[in-house]
Each structure stands twice: as C-alpha cells, then as structure tokens.
Structure 1
Amino acid sequence: MSQLFPRPRKMFNYYFSDILKEIYSSHTNTLVIGASIGMRPNQQLGELFVNASFYRPQVSADSFYLNNQSRLAFFNQATRKCALESITDKSDLACYPHGNFFISEGKPGKVLKVHAKNCIDFHFLTAMQCVLSQYSVDIPPSFVGLGGIFLMKKGIARTHVMPYSWDNQLKTAKNINNWLHYSDLNAPLVAVGTLISDSSYYEKSCQRSGRNGYGLTQSHFHTYSSNGTGGHFHTEIQLTKAVEYFGYFKPAKIFYHMDPHLRYDGLQDFTDIMVYW
C-alpha cells in the first residue's frame, strides 16, 4: 500500500504472466485469486477482483493461455455510483502496484470451510484474524496466511471504490476516509482475497535482518454482486442474526513480497479508516 500514498509513485502495471514466471516458474497450471487495483483504458483506477487461471504446455514456454473471470469495480462519474465491468482480456492480466493474491495449481483438495452466522460481537474478517492469531502462537514462525473465497449469503456489506481522480492531500487515514466513495451492498455477495494472522512477525524479521520495516495488509478482499456492483470489502454494517457467511480457504505454504517499499505511516491498512465511520 506504500506504493499508493500520499500519491501513486508511478503509473505502471504488473503483469501476472511475469509474476508467475518469477515466483511460480515450475508449474504449468496456475490459479490466481485475490484483491488488487486495476486500471481502465482511460487510466481510471478501480477495485480489481482477480479470478484467473493460467496454462502453458510446458514450464519453458513464454506465453500462457488465460481463462479470465476477473472484474473491476469503479466509480461512474455519470451516475455518481459504483459500476462493475468484466475483464475479458485473454492475452494477459495486469494489476496496479498494490494487491494480495493466493496462487495455487487450482486442483481439488482439502480446504478450510467456515460457516458463520448470528454475529453478536466481532465482524467476520476480524473474527477470522483473531482465530488465526491465537492458532499461530505455538506454530513457528507464528505467521499464518489464508487465501480463498467467501459468500456473504445474508446481510449488508460496507464497500468502497476510489473516486475518478486522485486527491493530492491524501496524507492521513482521515483524508483517505473522506476521499473514498462508500456503498452499502445487499447480499448475496462473492468475495476473494487473503488474510494473515499478524504482520508484526514479518516486520520484525525485516528489522532483524537489517532491512526496513515493510507494512502488510492484514486482510484484503474484493467483492461483487450479480446486480452490477462491487468494491473493496470492509465489513458487515449490522451485527444481527440476519448476517451469514460461507467461506472456503487454503493455508499458504510460501509468502512472497514483491518490490517492498518503506511503510507509509499515515495509513497502515485500510482497516485504519474504520474509526472514522
């Protein structure tokens, strides 16, 4: 996220084919799901919902075959509301320099199924993180990450998309809160992304090795609905018995941080802006 604030450093994209060649080079079949930022042809930024499978006949092949089911939620200037479009490019898929992804071969296997309803205290993702943190205490290196998908079956979710143009004054979490365009979306909603138990282990590891502390996003999920809306998923806005989730997650074996930048202290995580709601 340090790439974005107080202003994006550059207007450039990362292409997933290049990412896979670097960090997943020994596989021919790859599934990528997660949350990121995408750029429209007019250079407007939006919330990217990544769901794409890549195939190449052999690991030495330079090009991939792409089955792209990704989507982009963005702010429509004409309607002043969130809009949603499908990403239909079959040649490659790109993301702007902030995103969290779970990469696998996409094969059938055991997963962690989570069914949550009748929320009375913690929000869904907050509860998931608390459980992960408690579980990881006795597991070296005390750092657990999950990637997956969940369905918000019942309830209302608070989401955001970025406005059409960038504000030069985005220096604090309060500035960013006032700048984002929020929407309350009704279930059912589908979300993909990642969450980690605690970023402090990674930051301390960097410091012990003589490197700078790099901030990580604790949880990052993007969502969409069949009625043409979507965005960055924050939380349900009513802790009532009407809330219900089904989630399917897989623990990650390897953590990889591409092109880390110094942490931007004005904003550690998008969860920081929740205090201003």
Structure 2
Amino acid sequence: MSLSVDTQQLFVPSLSEVCDTLQDGLSRNFETVKVEVVDCPDLTQSPFCLSGRGLCGSPRIADVGGPPYLLPHVDRTKLYDIANLTKLINLPNAFVVGAGAGPFPFVGQNSELMANVVTGKNASNGSRICKIINNKCELHKLPQNETGCALMINLFASEGLGGKVLKVSARKRKGTDNFISCIRKTLDVKYEDKSVGLGGFFRVTSGTVKCHVMPGFCDSALETEESLNNWLHFIDMPAPMTFFSVLVSRDPGMDLRQEHSHGYGESYGGHYHYDVTPDEVEYEGYFNIAEILYRIDRPEHTHSFRRD
C-alpha cells in the first residue's frame, strides 16, 4: 500500500534559546524548574534502558494516520510498520520513540503502543503495548520482529547518536497545564506563527498520573467526547513511569496531533493526560529539536476531537 507523504521544514531555534524559554515558561506552572543543555546520557543504560543510545543525528518527527481512522468508526485497513515508516522519512537506520495504537493483528485487539525501536542494520525493539483484559490493564513487551502499529502514531526519530539535548526537570505543579502541554504552549507563545517540533521522553519519578487505555474496538459509533470517554478506561498510575513524547508548537495546516505521550510503569501503561498529585509530582525529560516534519497517510476526512 502506497502512503501519502508531505514534508514541512520546521523552525529550529538554538537549544540554548529553547532552554531559556522553557525555564521561564515552566516556572509559571511548576514550583521548581531546571532546564539545561546537556550531553545526552547513554539511554541504553539504567535508569533509562531504551533501545537507542541518544536522541541526536538528523532529528525529525512523523505524524502518521490520525484519530479519524479510529473515530467515529475504526478503519481496520490502517496498518503500518515502524521499520517501513523510517524509510519514508529517509532515515532507515533510526532510533525511534513515540506514541500510537498497537498492532491489533498481532495483539489480538486494540491497544496503546509505546514505541522504542532501532530500525535497520542494528535493529532492536523495546516497544511495549498495554491493553484491557477483563477490565484490567495489562502491559506486554513486543517481540523483536514485531514493529507494527495501527491507525495513528506520532514518532520522533534520529540516528540515535550522542550530542547536546535539553534536560527538563520540574516538580510540584502549581498551574493547570500538564508537563507536555506546558512545554508546547510555552514554545507556541515564544515562536508565534513558526512551528517548532520536539521529541524524546520523560520520566515521572514521583507522584501519580492519570492515563487512559483503549479497550477492544467499539461496535457502535464514537461521535462525541462523552461517548469516547465512556469507552476509554481511565486509570491513575503511580511513579516511576517512562513516557515517549512528540509535540509540535503550532500546526502548519497539516491536521496534526500536536502532542502525544504514551508510557509505562512496572506492570501498567497508557496515554498520558496529567498528574493527579500536584504537590508530589516530579518530572525529568530529555528532548531534542526536530528539523523536519513528515505527515504520512493524512486522513481525507477529519474532525477536531480527541487531539490531547
């Protein structure tokens, strides 16, 4: 199946400028904030234990499919493979992290995907899915050769090299925005009509966050926020958790999901919404600035709900 691919050069401010911008913006939403430009740690080592070593080298993001392929009716033909997607974004040997829907032909049902993959000659797969079984969340690691996904996925890809990245630490939330929304909105205010893309991961080291997990596909139409929320399973999940996250400060008219974060803990995982323990929560994230945006298999018919 041939997939449509549109590209957009993103605005790439310096890491130091973004560092200062986020330090100021996040300080309005969190009691304690520290944003630094640092050498990316070796992400294959503890406490990260990811598939790739770093977030540098030709950084780019991809927005594939979208919520219209799930809502109001699921389109079961929308199946993708991360190994093939990295070829479409001209980075076949890539370290990829991101958030999307799991490969339902393999999993046996709808699920949340936490993508953590190295594609190409040094292929490695640390991706996980979570699904609802008997009204409970189950977390599973995917086998090495299962790099599929479905319906929608947001990806940050790089050559997996070391280099300079942003380290963002924040604790004790005092505002209303979640960690990622605060970052995105801060960049949007700073850069106005320009689109800045950021990707990487963050760890929740203290506190509890609210996540949702999609159950099996719904037989009836999900046409409103109310029906969608009644279908989803919302679960409070305690730290420690690791979330893969992709964001774009402003949509340049490409029908984007502007922020998307999926993560996992010891035996649970899901789609990040916000923390529910503002006095206790602590975040620590590593991010890099993307140079190019790829919009792949954009839905012909769209809608505006469930884009958080």
TM-score by length of 1: 0.82
Whether the 8 Å CA contact 2:69–2:78 is kept in 1: the answer is no
- Provide the residue aligned with 2:52 in structure 1: none
> Which whole-Å deviations, capped at 9, do the CAs of 1:110-144 have from their partners, x for residues lacking one?
1111010121013212211121112222xxx6001
Is 1:251 aligned to residue 289 of structure 2? yes
Q: Structure 2 vs 1, CA of residues 266 and 174 (structure 1 numbering), >3 Å: closer, same or farther?
A: farther
| Count of residues paired in the alignment | 240
SS of aligned partner of 1:163: coil
Q: Which amino acid aligns with 2:98?
A: G
Q: 1:2 Cα deviation (Å)?
A: 1.5
Q: 1:24 Cα deviation (Å)?
A: 1.7
- Provide the residue aligned with 2:241 in structure 1: 189
- Provide the residue aligned with 2:74 in structure 1: 8
Q: 1:19 Cα deviation (Å)?
A: 1.5
- Provide the residue aligned with 1:157 in structure 2: 209
- Provide the residue aligned with 1:274 in structure 2: none
The percentage of counterpart residues that share the same residue type is: 32
Q: Which amino acid aligns with 1:256?
A: Y
Higher RCO, 1 vs 2 (CA within 8 Å, ≥6 residues apart): 2
- Provide the residue aligned with 1:235 in structure 2: 274
- Provide the residue aligned with 1:166 in structure 2: 218
Whether the 8 Å CA contact 1:123–1:239 is kept in 2: the answer is no
User: How much is the aligned-residue C-alpha RMSD, in angstroms?
Assistant: 1.7
The 5-angstrom pairing of residues 1-277 of structure 1 reads 1-25=67-91, 29-40=93-104, 41=106, 43-56=108-121, 65-77=122-134, 80-90=135-145, 92-121=146-175, 122-137=177-192, 142-199=194-251, 202-203=252-253, 214-226=254-266, 228-240=267-279, 242-262=280-300, 264-265=302-303, 267-269=305-307, 271=308
SS of aligned partner of 2:119: strand
**Take 1:36 and 1:216, find their aligned partners in 2: how far apart are those partners?**
13
Whether the 8 Å CA contact 1:215–1:263 is kept in 2: the answer is no
**Take 1:263 and 1:194, find their aligned partners in 2: how far apart are those partners?**
23
Structure 2 unaligned regions, length at least 5: 1-66
TM-score by length of 2: 0.74
Structure 1 unaligned regions, length at least 5: 57-64, 204-213, 272-277
- The runs of at least 4 consecutive aligned structure 1 residues that moved more than 4 Å come to none
